[in-house]
């Protein structure tokens, strides 16, 4: 479904992504792991168009999307969440999700119809699924950190993506919230038959959920494969599991 081939990206001479390869098959939950600064977020920004790669190819459903702007990539069926809660703070929770659904339905440009009775059912359905329905009329900026992260995912769901990309969905969450979020992700994948690509630096979380794991180190792909195989890989053990467990 998604192929990332030999992608490079440097910032002022610093190679943030230095030859990354990744493949995601339809229906899988794929995780990208690696220590802080390994280039996971940069890689995701390259896939969804926030950044343009220096070299390499990104192919989604047999179509090259390498240098498309973010909105065009989204229209192809890839939605994402961000590592830092990236929401619309002055809009209500309801509107946050509605904006994304309206965009998916190509209705963002409608001038003379009231938005308040459009896409209402769809919006509530998503809010219900992620458990934010009760606070639908709160301003998004007033939510707790954990809820803002969930809202992030809800906004991404509004785009009806086929591939959902989550950038450290549990960053800054308590262990309890983390478990709840990972359950949600598993549930979303099965209930909406989504393909999910996410990244994490906490190894334990990943091995329970992901069917395929890609390990990044210094911007480079070390290995990608099923969890057991990755666990046994020598290079990975040296680079990550061994000495410095910073997670």
Partner 1 sequence: MGRWNRKTLLLCTALFVVLLLLPAILPRFYTYILASIFVTSLLAMSLNLVVGHGGLYQFHHCAFYGVSAYTVALLITKAHVPYWIAFGAGPLAAALVGFLIGWFCVRLSKLYFGMLQISLGSLIWALAFRWYSLTGGDDGIHGISMPDLISSTKNSYYFVLIVLTISLILMYIILKSPFGTTLQATRDNPERCEAVGINVRRHQLAALIISTFFAGVAGILYVVVEQSVFPDLLFWVFSLEIFIMCLLGGWFTFAGPIIGAAIMVSLRTFVGVYTEYWTLVLGVLLILLIFFLPEGVMGFVLDKFGTSATHRETGGSH
Report yes or no: 222 and 236 within 8 Å, Cβ to Cβ.
Answer: yes
The least CB distance from residue 73 to partner 1, in Å, is: 9
Closer by beta carbon to partner 1, 44 or else 240:
44
The string of DSSP codes covering 144-169 is -HHHHHHHHHHHHHHT--SEEEEEST
The least CB distance from residue 120 to partner 1, in Å, is: 12
Closer by beta carbon to partner 1, 81 or else 212:
81
What is the distance between the alpha carbons of residues 162 and 183, in angstroms, rounded to a whole number?
19
In DSSP terms, which residues pair with 235 in a beta bridge?
none
The least CB distance from residue 90 to partner 1, in Å, is: 5
The least CB distance from residue 1 to partner 1, in Å, is: 19
Closer by beta carbon to partner 1, 110 or else 234:
110
Closer by beta carbon to partner 1, 161 or else 203:
161
Closer by beta carbon to partner 1, 104 or else 233:
104
In DSSP terms, which residues pair with 164 in a beta bridge?
79, 196
Report the interface residues with partner 1, using CB under 8 A.
Answer: 48-50, 69-71, 74-75, 79-80, 82, 86-92, 94-96, 98-100, 102-104, 107-116, 118, 137-139, 142, 155-156, 158-159
What is the distance between the alpha carbons of residues 208 and 118, in angstroms, rounded to a whole number?
39
Contacts of 201 (CB under 8 A, 6+ apart): 33, 34, 35, 36, 40, 168, 246, 247
The least CB distance from residue 72 to partner 1, in Å, is: 8
């Amino acid at each position: 479904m998604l192929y990332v081939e030999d992608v490079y990206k440097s910032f002022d001479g610093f190679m943030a992504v230095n030859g990354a390869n990744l493949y995601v098959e339809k229906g899988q939950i794929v995780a990208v792991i690696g220590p802080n600064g390994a280039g996971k977020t940069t890689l995701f920004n390259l896939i969804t168009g926030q950044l343009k790669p220096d070299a390499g190819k990104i192919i989604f459903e047999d179509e090259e999307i390498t240098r498309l702007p973010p909105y065009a990539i989204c229209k192809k069926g890839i939605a994402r969440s961000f590592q830092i809660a990236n929401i619309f703070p002055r809009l209500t929770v309801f509107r946050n999700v509605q904006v994304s659904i309206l965009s998916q339905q190509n209705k963002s440009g409608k001038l003379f119809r009231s938005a308040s009775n459009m896409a209402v059912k769809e919006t509530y359905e998503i809010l219900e699924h992620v458990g934010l329905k009760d606070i639908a009329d709160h301003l998004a900026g007033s939510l707790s950190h954990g809820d803002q992260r969930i809202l992030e995912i809800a906004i991404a769901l509004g785009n009806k993506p086929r591939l959902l990309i989550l950038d450290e969905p549990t960053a800054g969450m308590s262990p309890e919230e983390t478990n709840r979020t990972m359950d949600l992700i598993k549930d979303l994948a099965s209930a909406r038959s989504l393909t999910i690509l996410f990244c994490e630096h906490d190894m334990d979380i990943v091995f329970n959920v992901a069917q395929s794991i890609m390990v990044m180190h210094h911007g480079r792909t070390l290995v990608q494969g099923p969890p057991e195989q990755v666990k046994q890989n020598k290079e990975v053990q040296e680079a990550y599991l061994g000495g410095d467990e910073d997670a």
